[in-house]
Amino acid sequence: MSAVFANALGFGAALVVAGGAIANHFWRAAARARFEDAHARRFRFDGQGIVQGAAGFTLPARHDTGIPRRAVLLLHGFNDTAQSMAYLGAMLHARGWTVRVPLLPGHGTRLVTMESESRVTRWREAVLAEYDTLRHDYDSVMVVGQSMGGALALLLATERPELPALVLLAPYIGMPRHLQWKVLGAWIAHVVLPYLRSVGGETSIHDPVARTEGLGPGIVTARTLTELRRVAKDAETALPQVWVPTLYLQSREDNRIAARDAEAHFTALGSTDKRQQWVTGCGHIISADFCRDEVASLTADWLDAHLI
């Protein structure tokens, strides 16, 4: 093969590679625009770029003289918003609790913000700051976490072991092997697709009315799934270190967490004052589904019983 021919062949190969890279760049840009435009058409946003109805909120309780000032911090799950905790928050507020439901970083916002701000460090910092603020103002502060919020609640308990009580609602602890393969698949797909549709969310809430009221985007990225895996694995590692009295609520029909995994995680929990309660007729988001009244009642009773 002559040097001229070899050089021409190499140059041609380089052109093919460069052309492919350019084509992929424009393909990803077009795909990004399609996803972001569709998301922007689906939701209305406030001046801070938050989906209307998704923002965090506080329900202050009336505290008469002589009654301990008590507050509860409610933490929503991955790819969800404060709206998913609204019913539970209202029920706890009616039982005399000040309720604080923050919107976790990267949630309930535009996709580009979701992609850049959904990080474990930011979630943990936000939860710690919310708890410390409440602890400064109230005599007793307890925490309820759902799905990924449950994982964050467990991690908070390792940093603030003085917590009087925890309630975990279908906590997302660890990650099944088949879902870890999905994370790997998401990174492979990331080469050409910046966003991916989240599958299975339609069975997370059985109540059709509550399902339509949800404000989650139904969109994930390889990075956000990786952050979810990280916080879930961190929570699994932390289980034996959590000695806070804990109520663990789980649906028999949970589409995200297998019953055997929930049982194993409950067993690994370090606390000696713990209880696992099963509910039925609902999916993964038990705070908003058909079992929401039972969940609210069990949660309130546990918190009241551990009030200092």
Write down the pLDDT at residue 188: 80
Write down the pLDDT at residue 88: 98
Q: Tell me the average pLDDT across 174-180.
A: 77
What is the token pair recorded at 293? 């009244």
In terms of domains, do 37 and 118 share one?
no
Domain carrying residue 209: 57-305
Phi-psi domain of 214 (left: phi exceeds 0; alpha: psi -120 through 50; beta: other): beta
Is 115 part of any domain?
yes
CA atoms of 294 and 64, how far apart (whole Å): 28
- What's the predicted TM-score (pTM) here? 0.90
Contacts of 275 by beta carbon, 8 Å cutoff, 6+ apart: 246, 247, 248, 302
Digit-coded pLDDT (tens) for 65-76: 455 689 999 999
pLDDT more than 70, % of the chain: 89
Write down the pLDDT at residue 68: 63
- E-strand stretches of the chain: 57-59, 70-75, 98-101, 140-146, 166-169, 196-197, 219-220, 246-251, 274-279
In terms of domains, do 176 and 37 share one?
no
In terms of domains, do 199 and 95 share one?
yes
Q: Quick one: which of 148, 133, 123 has its CA closest to 98? A: 133
Is 194 part of any domain?
yes
Determine the distance from the C-alpha atom of residue 45 to the mean position of all C-alpha atoms in its chain, rounded to a whole number: 20
In terms of domains, do 243 and 204 share one?
yes
Write down the pLDDT at residue 193: 80
* Total domain count, the chain: 2
222-238 helix and 120-137 helix, angle to the nearest 10 degrees = 50
Is 49 part of any domain?
no
